[in-house]
Amino acid sequence: MAGRFRLDAIVSAIVTVHPHEIPALLHSSSCFFFILSAYFVVLPLRDEGAISLGLSKLPGLFVGSLFLTLIAAPVSTLIFSLPNLSKSKALVIIHRFFSLSLVLCFLLWRASPTESMPYNTKDAVDSASDLTKDPKVGMDGANPAPGWDNHGWFYISVRVGFFLWVALLNLVAISSTWARIIDVMDSESGARLFGFVGAGATLGQLFGSVFAAATAWMGPYLLLFAALLMEFAAQSSKGITRDTSQSSEEMSPLRKTDDDHQIEGRQEASSQKVCSPKVVTPKSPIATTRPQLWAILDGMKLILASPYLMLVSLFLWLGAVISSFFYFQKVNIIATTIKSSIGRRKLFAQINSFIAVFILIGQLTLTGRILTLAGVTVAISASPFVALGNLVAIAIWPTWVSVAVSETVRKVTTYVVTRPGRELLFTVVSQDEKYKAKVCIDVIVQRLGDAAAAGLFELLTIALGGQTSTASLYALPVCLIWIVTAFFLGRRQEQLAKFQVGSSS
pLDDT in tens, 190-217: 778 888 888 888 888 888 877 887 787 7
In total, the chain counts a number of residues equal to: 505
Rg over CA atoms, the chain: 23
Kindly state the DSSP code that residue 418 receives in the 8-state scheme.
I
Count the alpha carbons within 13 Å of 502 in the hemisphere toward its beta carbon: 11
What's the pLDDT at 404? 81
Instruction: Give domain status of residue 220, yes or no.
Output: yes
pLDDT in tens, 423-445: 888 888 887 787 778 878 887 88
pLDDT at 385 over 90: yes
Instruction: Give domain status of residue 9, yes or no.
Output: no
What's the pLDDT at 1? 59
Q: Which helix (H) or strand (E) holds 150?
A: none
pLDDT in tens, 99-151: 999 999 999 988 887 654 443 434 433 443 343 344 333 333 334 444 556 66
Average pLDDT (320-334) is 78
pLDDT at 271 over 70: no
Count the alpha carbons within 13 Å of 382 in the hemisphere toward its beta carbon: 23
Nearest to residue 455, comparing CAs of 422, 478, 436, 429?
478
Q: Which domain holds residue 398?
A: 19-241+292-504
What's the pLDDT at 58? 59
What's the pLDDT at 350? 63
Residues 254 and 501 sit within 8 Å (Cβ to Cβ): yes
Residues 72 and 450 sit within 8 Å (Cβ to Cβ): no
- Comparing 298 with 174, which gets the higher pLDDT? 174
Q: Which residues contact 104 (CB under 8 A, 6 or more apart)?
A: none
Instruction: Give domain status of residue 265, yes or no.
Output: no
Q: Which helix (H) or strand (E) holds 18?
A: none
CATH number at residue 407: 1.20.1250.20
Average pLDDT (323-347) is 68
Q: Which residues contact 198 (CB under 8 A, 6 or more apart)?
A: 32, 359, 363, 367, 415, 416, 419, 420
Residues 365 and 198 sit within 8 Å (Cβ to Cβ): no
What's the pLDDT at 345? 52
Q: Is the dihedral of CA 318, 383, 181, 490 positive or negative?
A: negative
What's the pLDDT at 364? 77
Q: Which residues contact 23 (CB under 8 A, 6 or more apart)?
A: 239, 241, 243
**10 Å Cβ neighbour count for 185?**
26
What's the pLDDT at 55? 52
What's the pLDDT at 500? 73
Q: Is the dihedral of CA 220, 224, 229, 230 positive or negative?
A: positive
Q: How many domains does the chain have?
A: 1
What's the pLDDT at 228? 96
Tell me the C-alpha distance between 42 and 62, whole Å: 17
Kindly state the DSSP code that residue 417 receives in the 8-state scheme.
I
The model's pTM:
0.66
- Comparing 353 with 31, which gets the higher pLDDT? 31
Dihedral (Cα; 439, 442, 447, 448), 10-degree rounding: 100
Q: Which of 154-163, 260-269, 370-379 has the lowest mean pLDDT?
A: 260-269
What's the pLDDT at 300? 81
Instruction: Give domain status of residue 181, yes or no.
Output: yes
Q: Which helix (H) or strand (E) holds 342?
A: helix 341-365
What's the pLDDT at 487? 94
What's the pLDDT at 498? 84
Nearest to residue 355, comparing CAs of 410, 394, 312?
410
Instruction: Give domain status of residue 323, yes or no.
Output: yes
What's the pLDDT at 311? 94
Nearest to residue 205, comparing CAs of 405, 453, 383, 411?
411
Residues 230 and 95 sit within 8 Å (Cβ to Cβ): yes
Instruction: Give domain status of residue 250, yes or no.
Output: no
Dihedral (Cα; 486, 488, 490, 493), 10-degree rounding: -140
What's the pLDDT at 150? 66
- Band of the pLDDT at 166, cuts 50, 70, 90? confident
Average pLDDT (324-344) is 68
Q: Which of 20-24, 181-185, 353-357 has the lowest mean pLDDT?
A: 353-357
Q: If you average pLDDT over every residue of the chain, what do you get?
A: 75
